[in-house]
Amino acid sequence: MRTLVPFDATDPKTRLAGLFTPSERRDLAGVLLADVLAALRAAGGDPLVVATESVDCAAPVVVDERPLSEAVNARLDAGTAVVMADLALATPRALARFFAADGDVVLAPGLGGGTNALVVRDDAFAVDYHGTSYLDHLRAAHEGGLSVREFDATRLALDVDERADLADVLVRGEGEAGAWLREAGVRLDRTGGRTTVTRSE
Amino acid sequence: MRTLVPFDATDPKTRLAGLFTPSERRDLAGVLLADVLAALRAAGGDPLVVATESVDCAAPVVVDERPLSEAVNARLDAGTAVVMADLALATPRALARFFAADGDVVLAPGLGGGTNALVVRDDAFAVDYHGTSYLDHLRAAHEGGLSVREFDATRLALDVDERADLADVLVRGEGEAGAWLREAGVRLDRTGGRTTVTRSE
């Protein structure tokens, strides 16, 4: 399935600035992107990276400086998927099941109300990533008379934004990002209430 | 399926102390428990609440003051499930699929490396909730020669511990906990980097 993969090549992963330098954050974002692209291809996806600036990766890239929703909608034909570039737990198996799910619109919610992945099978649907996009996308599909399927999977719900998200990458990630984190000295830390990570060089 | 539901009736939800009084936290824990029990029954579960002290709820309760793992292992026969009492997104559909999943041991990982729900079909398996229990349970099953299935679902991965978890309850919860939170003045807050909640009286 044709799959748009939006990618912030400019200043990615700002909420990890306490752990990593800007250069390291760009490296990590690139490794996460590579993991997602590999999983997509293994699941039968045909990825097109929609990036804020040029990036070197194992897929075609189009640079589009417009805001995320505009850049995606400009390319969102029926039969297209959109998958975020930082879904570090995504496996070929989870993505293949996602592609195969029925529905005019298939939504994979992220934690906190975002939309981490979607499949669109009707030209009338447009994305709007501003705000609590999962609820907005549900509403838009219902208002458009489209059938909607919620695709519930942690492997697509976990995007890498915060320090605590890295714990899940260390525990369950199957791509290269886990190795990158370990190489950078990132380790599980369970001394506080919630499992998170610390870094030692 | 016979299902143990461990429940902290004494001082629950301590990481929400910044939002709620101790009495409110006990109330919320009770509403979460009621939601889980209702979803379990609708999924064909036969719940037994294993509580730290007596609690009034719509299921049989046994009080066991021992640490969590001991209290669970004392009752963990083959053909038993264990489901945590604060899985606010759990639906009958997700739990029915969970009960039906194949494997000597079926593990539903929580965010951060915990084990939010499991099914055991072999008497040799024991739980150990200390530490990164998901990895420990995987290892124990493999070492015991048992077949293991990872059951990946956000609806079982999200337990209510932190303030940000309440955002997911407001966005996707289908039980009474969402209404309880709204009644208490809890609202989505997207002013920071990650969606969380604020409270106004």
Question: DSSP for chain A?
Answer: -EEEEEE--SS--GGGTTTS-HHHHHHHHHHHHHHHHHHHHHTT-EEEEEESS----SS-EEE--S-HHHHHHTT--TTEEEE-TT-TT--HHHHHHHHH--SSEEEEEPTTS-EEEEEE-STT-----SSSHHHHHHHHHHHTT--EEE---HHHH--S-SHHHHHHHHHH--SSHHHHHHHTTEEEE-SSSS-EEEE--
Nearest CB among B131, B153, B164 relative to A154 is that of B153
CB contact under 8 A, B153 and A153: yes
A63 CA: distance to closest CA in chain B (Å): 25
CB contact under 8 A, A193 and B164: no
Q: How many CB atoms lie within 10 A of CB A136?
A: 16
Asked whether residue A182 is domain-assigned, the answer is no
pLDDT of residue B15: 93
pLDDT of residue A163: 92
pLDDT of residue B192: 67
The pLDDT of residue B171 is above 90: yes
pLDDT of residue B190: 83
Q: CATH number of the domain that B13 lies in?
A: 3.90.550.10
The pLDDT of residue B89 is above 70: yes
Nearest CB among A14, A152, A195 relative to B154 is that of A152
What is the Cα–Cα distance from B108 to B155, expressed in whole angstroms? 10
Burial class (CB in 10 A: 0-12, 13-18, 19+), B121: middle
pLDDT of residue A106: 98
Res. B200 pLDDT band, cuts 50 70 90: confident
The pLDDT of residue A201 is above 90: no
pLDDT of residue A178: 97
Asked whether residue B55 is domain-assigned, the answer is yes
Asked whether residue A76 is domain-assigned, the answer is yes
Q: What is the DSSP string of chain B?
A: -EEEEEE--SS--GGGTTTS-HHHHHHHHHHHHHHHHHHHHHTT-EEEEEESS----SS-EEE--S-HHHHHHTT--TTEEEE-TT-TT--HHHHHHHHH--SSEEEEEPTTS-EEEEEE-STT-----SSSHHHHHHHHHHHTT--EEE---HHHH--S-SHHHHHHHHHH--SSHHHHHHHTTEEEE-SSSS-EEEE--
Asked whether residue A72 is domain-assigned, the answer is yes
The pLDDT of residue A192 is above 70: no
B195 CA: distance to closest CA in chain A (Å): 5
ipTM attached to this prediction: 0.91
Contacts of B86 in chain A (CB under 8 A): none
The pLDDT of residue A179 is above 70: yes
CB contact under 8 A, A152 and B94: yes
Res. A195 pLDDT band, cuts 50 70 90: confident
- Domain range for B12 is 2-161
* Interface size, chain A vs chain B, as Cβ–Cβ contacts under 8 Å: 88
Residue type for position A186: V
What is the Cα–Cα distance from A140 to A182, expressed in whole angstroms? 41
The pLDDT of residue A189 is above 70: yes
Residues B131-143: what's their mean pLDDT?
95
The residues, ordered by sequence, that sit 6+ positions from A36 with a Cβ below 8 Å of its Cβ are: A5, A47, A83, A84, A85, A86, A87, A90, A175
Contacts of B152 in chain A (CB under 8 A): 94, 153-155
pLDDT of residue B160: 96
Asked whether residue B188 is domain-assigned, the answer is no
The residues, ordered by sequence, that sit 6+ positions from B145 with a Cβ below 8 Å of its Cβ are: none
In percent, how much of chain A has pLDDT > 90? 92
Look at chain A and report how many structural domains it folds into: 1
Asked whether residue A188 is domain-assigned, the answer is no
Asked whether residue B40 is domain-assigned, the answer is yes
Q: Which residue has 């799910």 as its token pair?
A: A101
pLDDT of residue A193: 64
The residues, ordered by sequence, that sit 6+ positions from B106 with a Cβ below 8 Å of its Cβ are: B98, B118, B119, B148, B149, B151
What is the Cα–Cα distance from A102 to A90, expressed in whole angstroms? 19
pLDDT of residue A190: 82
Residues B39-43: what's their mean pLDDT?
98
Residues A59-87: what's their mean pLDDT?
97
CA distances from B198 to B31, B51, B161 (A): 20, 30, 15
Token couple for A102: 């029925």
* Mean per-residue pLDDT over chain A, rounded: 95
Instruction: Give the sign of the dihedral formed by CA A126, CA A130, CA A134, CA A140.
Output: negative
Asked whether residue B91 is domain-assigned, the answer is yes
Residues B75-83: what's their mean pLDDT?
97
The pLDDT of residue A69 is above 90: yes
pLDDT of residue B193: 64
